[in-house]
Structure 1
Amino acid sequence: MEISFVRIDDRLIHGQVATVWTKASGCNRIMACSDEVANDPLRKQLLLQVCPQGYKAYVLPIEKAIAAYKNPKYDSFKTLFLFTNPTDVLRMIEGGVDFKSVNVGGMCFKEGKTQITNAVCVDDKDIESFKKISEKGVELELRKLAQDSKVDLIDKLKSLNLI
């Protein structure tokens, strides 16, 4: 399976992903990877319904996504991987998925989170996962829109004295 693009966006499949990131990444498949979402029949169904025409979408728990990545029968897939949080990305990497770069595009505000950009809020668990991902040599870049300039996430966290 070819990795076309990896994005953390807690909305998963939505307008920006459907119209811009699919084209920018050159993917032919969209894989939303989340135990929580995969186990929520309504949310899963809604995500599959908003998949843009011409693409095939899947909503899988992390372990099944890792197994699919490793399965040679999916070698023709050019996959846009979507996640709601960095902890799930780290689980995929630790499970043997060879991500080189992760785009961090949208993590909404919740109690206990700190806003670091207009679209990304993090808590201590997120920061710890980002540090571990970075230590594995994976690029972490902040970019809400495809045409935006990349900003190094770790540098941003350091500049805000969060690490």
Structure 2
Amino acid sequence: MIVTLARIDDRLIHGQVTTVWSKESGADRIIIVSSEVYKDSVRKTLLKQACPPGMKVNIVDVPKAIAVFNNPKYADDKIFYLFTNPTEALALVKGGVKLTTVNIGGMQFSEGKTQITKSVSVNSDDIKSFRTLDELGVKLDLQVVKTDPHADMIKKIDEKLS
């Protein structure tokens, strides 16, 4: 598989992803990697209906994503990975999927989270996963919309928590 874009955006497929990021990626297929969504048949149906025209979408859990990545049948497929959180992105990397950069989009605020930017809030598990991804050499590019300047996620976390 050729990974053209990996993005964390807890809204998954929405206007910005459909109109900008999917085109920017140049991918043929969006693979949503989320155990929670994988188990939710209603949400899966809605996400498949929201998929950009001409793109395929699959919704899988981490073990299935790793298995598909390693299947030679899909070696030439151009893939846009979407995650709801950094923990599943980290699990994919630890499972042998090479991600050089992870783009961070929206991560909604909820109880127990710290707001890093107006669109990104994290809890302690998120921070731990981001730090581990960084240690593994994955670039963490905070860019909610394409016109936003690129920012280093670890620097933003450190600025907010210091």
User: Is TM > 0.5 for Structure 1 vs Structure 2?
Assistant: yes
Matches of 2:97 and 2:156 in 1, distance apart? 25
Secondary structure of 2:67's aligned partner: helix
Matches of 1:146 and 1:80 in 2, distance apart? 15
Q: TM-score, normalised by structure 2?
A: 0.98
1:144 CA displacement: 0.6
Q: What whole-Å deviation, never above 9, does each CA across 1:2-46 have from its counterpart, x for those lacking one?
A: 001000000111111011001111111100001110010000111
Matches of 1:110 and 1:87 in 2, distance apart? 17
Matches of 1:41 and 1:99 in 2, distance apart? 28
Root mean square deviation of aligned Cα: 0.8
The equivalences for 1:80-99 within 5 A come to: 80-99=80-99
1:111 CA displacement: 0.4
The equivalences for 1:145-160 within 5 A come to: 145-160=145-160
Matches of 1:68 and 1:147 in 2, distance apart? 32
- Aligned match of 1:28: 28
Which of structure 1's runs of 4+ aligned residues deviate more than 2 A?
A: none
Structure 2 unaligned segments of length 5 or more: list them.
none
1:160 CA displacement: 1.5
- Aligned match of 1:130: 130
Matches of 1:13 and 1:76 in 2, distance apart? 23
Secondary structure of 1:119's aligned partner: coil
Matches of 2:48 and 2:144 in 1, distance apart? 22
- Aligned match of 1:2: 2
- Aligned match of 1:75: 75
- Aligned match of 1:143: 143
Structure 1 residue 60 corresponds to structure 2 residue 63: no
- Aligned match of 1:43: 43
Identity %: 49
Secondary structure of 1:157's aligned partner: helix
Structure 1 unaligned segments of length 5 or more: list them.
none
1:76 CA displacement: 2.2
